[in-house]
Structures are given as C-alpha cells and as structure tokens.
Amino acid sequence: MDKFELIAPCHFGLEAVMKREILDLGYEIIKVEDGKVTFSGDAEAIVRANMFLRTTERILLKVGQFKAVTFEELFEKTKALPWENYIPVDGKFWIKKANSVKSQLFSPSDIQSIMKKAMVERLKSVYHVEWFEEDGASYPVRVAFMKDEVTIGIDTSGISLHKRGYRQAISKAPITETLAAALIKLTPWRKDRILVDPFCGSGTFPIEAAMMAANIAPGLNRNFLCEDWKNLISRKYWYQVKEEAQDIMDLNVQTDIQGYDLDGTIVKYARENAVRAGVDKLIHFQQRDVKDLSHPKKYGFIITNPPYGERLEEKENLPALYETIGARYKELDSWSMYLITAYKDAERYIGREADKNRKIYNGMMKTYFYQFMGPKPPKPKKTME
C-alpha cells in the first residue's frame, strides 16, 4: 500500500503535544518543525488522522519540497512534481493558500498563478488533454515558503479541524477547540480528576475535556474534503474508522467537569454546544462569578482562559480580576491552576509566580500559559486480598 508523507500543522509551542498524539495513533514521525509535525502513513492514516487528532488544524498530503528563488525555478520544479499521482483528470485543483517567510518569492497571488500554470502543464502532458473541466472532487493546494524552501501539500481536511461541529454559539473571545485540547493535554488532568473553568464562555475547555474523558473522536460529527477522493482513499476506510470511533466511545464515564460564567446567556450557549457535542450529561454549567469560586473536594484543576483586556475599558478591571483569581485559588490549597492569557501582569496580581510558563502563539497573538502546580493526590491504598 502507498505510503504518504502527511503534515499536521499546530500552534507554535505545541509541537510536542502534536507529536505525542500522532505516536499514540501508531504512526512514524518524520520531522518536527516550528508549527508542524510531518509523519508517515497510508490512505487509512489520512482518514484516522482527520478523525482522531485533537490538536491539529488540518492534515496535508505532502506532494513535494524544493528550493526556489525565482519564479522560473518555481514553475519548473512545480511542473516536475508527480501531480497525476494525486489529482484525477476531472479533479478541481487550485492554490488555496500561499504564505512566505524570509523568502525571495513573497507575493501570494504571483505564487498561486505560476504554480497553477505549472500544474496544468504537467497534467496536460500526462492526461493528453488541452482543457480541464475540473468538475470532480476538490484538491486544494497549500504552499509554504520558509527561507526559500518550498513545501507543498494538498489539504485533505477542508474546513479547519478545530470546527468539530458543536460550537455554533461563540462568546466574544473564544479559544479554538484544537488549542483548548492541546492545553488540556499539557496538564496532568485525567478523567477521574475534577476540572473547573470559571470563565467558560461558550464551553470549549469543559467540552473538549468531556470529549477526551468519553473518548469521543473530534471528527465524528463532521465531514472531510478527502471523503470524495475515490482515486486515493477507499470508502471502506471511512466505514471502518467511523466504526472504530463509535466502538471506543464511553458515554457512561463518571466525570466532575464544571463550567462557570458571569453571563447567563453565554452559559445557555455553552449548554447548547455541549448537547451538540454529546457531552451535556458530563458537564455541570452554572452562572457564577469568579469571586464565588470554591469546591469542597481536593486535588482539582482550574483550566481557563480569563479575560485579558483586548478593549481599553476592560484593561482597567484586570488587576482586580486577577487578584480575585489569585485569592480564590489560594483557598483551593491542593489544586492546580492552568491559565492562558495575553496579560503580562497576571502573576503579579495573582500573587505568586507560576511553576512553569509557556509562550504560545494564538494566531498572531503572543499568550502565556501559566502553570501553577498543586500537590499530587495520594495513591489509593492497595487492599489486602
């Protein structure tokens, strides 16, 4: 069976999480770079990666990589790639996105135009046609230039994988599903531990945690572009992988996952999103102010994305807000707290330095993932037989 090189892009700073997920699925890592992990897999791997990976935005089928500093070089090297191995004669193909960093070729529109012409020339010579109807399945190409090195991949996912299909109602500063899942994976939280998000917004952290606890595949309730790629991926893989996803799901898992927000309307939206995700029975949502945050049990986790003052009028309230977070966390003396924020004075007002601090780029915004570690719970005593 044909082996492909597959590229899984991820947030800068979260490559290790992505790598671990791919290894857990059983695939071999080829390369880890800033913002992406390349791995090896067959046609079934394309299906399984789209279905099961929680922390990538999409899966790209790598077509080639080369150096190009002139448009002529770009044309010739693009034309030399075996496009016929991926795109059938009726396939619809175009350069969906081109980005360039520290490279001599940097105009996206010129890159797109020249590469499309090169692809057409190559496929004309192979298929012996002068005109392509392009009325079949879609094969959108994504191109990345980094220091004149060109990496070319065909997008297998279509709509970004962070769109799981459950989040229709969005609060004003949402965190993406893929980023939320990656951040949860950076913590030692497990499904038998308490998790509270006191700024839950549309519910992304609690919902992603509940999906992990119940082993619900992130791609189970959505479609993928490559489902139409009958030339590369047999339908049987889609049936088998969906069956695998349904078999491993456990909706009877016992959880203590809670989401609070001051805005009652937002809490209502979060509940609706949880229903769509199939995890509403696993989460307790409540309208509650962070100043009322408390919990009778020990060794829980706060994982949250508090406000960080994108608007000027909000900035004035941040010191008091973060002081409240610090005060409430201090009362939960055996708990751990993980929060992602762009607010640089977070530690100062929380009142203690984080045990770990990780820089993560959320889009173009630099954020900090502050990690305050609580004690580990005691191991359960072994009963004598």
Residue range(s) defining the domain that contains residue 195: 177-216+231-372
Alpha helices in 177-296, H assignment, sequence order: 177-185, 204-213, 235-248, 264-277
Closest CA to 156 of 3, 46, 29: 46
In a domain, 226, yes or no: no
- Under a CB-based contact definition with an 8 Å cutoff, are residues 322 and 349 in contact? yes
| Two tokens, residue 364 | 């173009």
In a domain, 224, yes or no: no
pLDDT band, residue 118 (cuts 50/70/90): very high
Least confident residue range of 13-17, 89-93, 310-314: 310-314
How far is residue 339's CA from residue 325's CA, in Å, rounded to a whole number?
Answer: 10
In a domain, 163, yes or no: no
Domain count, the chain: 2
Whether residues 77 and 141 fall in one domain: yes
How far lies 354's CA from each of 135, 181, 345, 348, 377, in Å? 55, 21, 12, 10, 20
Closest CA to 139 of 80, 212, 74, 84: 84
pLDDT band, residue 1 (cuts 50/70/90): low
| Two tokens, residue 270 | 């979060």
pLDDT band, residue 379 (cuts 50/70/90): confident
- Under a CB-based contact definition with an 8 Å cutoff, are residues 44 and 4 in contact? no
DSSP class of 351: T
- Per-residue pLDDT for 170 more than 80? no
pLDDT of residue 314: 74
- Per-residue pLDDT for 37 more than 70? yes
Whether residues 116 and 188 fall in one domain: no
Kindly state the average pLDDT of the residues 197-226: 97
Q: Is 125 helix (H, G, I), strand (E, B) or coil?
A: helix
Whether residues 185 and 47 fall in one domain: no
Whether residues 193 and 95 fall in one domain: no
Alpha helices in the chain, H assignment, sequence order: 15-25, 43-52, 71-79, 108-127, 177-185, 204-213, 235-248, 264-277, 312-315, 318-331, 346-350
How far is residue 6's CA from residue 18's CA, in Å, rounded to a whole number?
Answer: 13
How far is residue 186's CA from residue 183's CA, in Å, rounded to a whole number?
Answer: 5
- Per-residue pLDDT for 385 more than 60? no
Whether residues 190 and 120 fall in one domain: no
User: How close are the terminal C-alpha atoms of the chain, in Å?
Assistant: 51
- Per-residue pLDDT for 372 more than 70? yes
Residue listed under structure tokens 């070729």 = 105
In a domain, 367, yes or no: yes
Angle at the Cα of 35 from the Cα atoms of 38 and 47, rounded to 5 degrees = 45
Whether residues 263 and 324 fall in one domain: yes
Closest CA to 11 of 167, 123, 162, 122: 162
- Per-residue pLDDT for 34 more than 70? yes
If you average pLDDT over every residue of the chain, what do you get? 95
In a domain, 294, yes or no: yes
How far is residue 328's CA from residue 261's CA, in Å, rounded to a whole number?
Answer: 15
Whether residues 313 and 352 fall in one domain: yes
Whether residues 145 and 181 fall in one domain: no
In a domain, 302, yes or no: yes
pLDDT band, residue 172 (cuts 50/70/90): low
- Per-residue pLDDT for 165 more than 80? yes
Whether residues 201 and 337 fall in one domain: yes
pLDDT of residue 312: 59
Instruction: Output the domain CATH number for residue 132.
Output: 3.30.2130.30
Whether residues 239 and 138 fall in one domain: no
In a domain, 383, yes or no: no
Label the pairing between strands 365-372 and 301-304: unpaired
Whether residues 96 and 243 fall in one domain: no
Instruction: Output the domain CATH number for residue 242.
Output: 3.40.50.150
Whether residues 206 and 115 fall in one domain: no
Q: Is 128 helix (H, G, I), strand (E, B) or coil?
A: coil
Q: Is 120 helix (H, G, I), strand (E, B) or coil?
A: helix
In a domain, 381, yes or no: no
At 238-256, the pLDDT tens digits run 999 999 999 999 999 999 9
**How much of the chain, in percent, has pLDDT values that exceed 70?**
96
Angle at the Cα of 296 from the Cα atoms of 293 and 300, rounded to 5 degrees = 75
- Per-residue pLDDT for 313 more than 70? no
Q: In what order do the strands lie in the sheet with 28-33?
A: 28-33, 36-41, 4-9, 60-67, 149-155, 138-146, 92-101
Helix axes 204-213, 264-277, angle to 10 degrees: 30
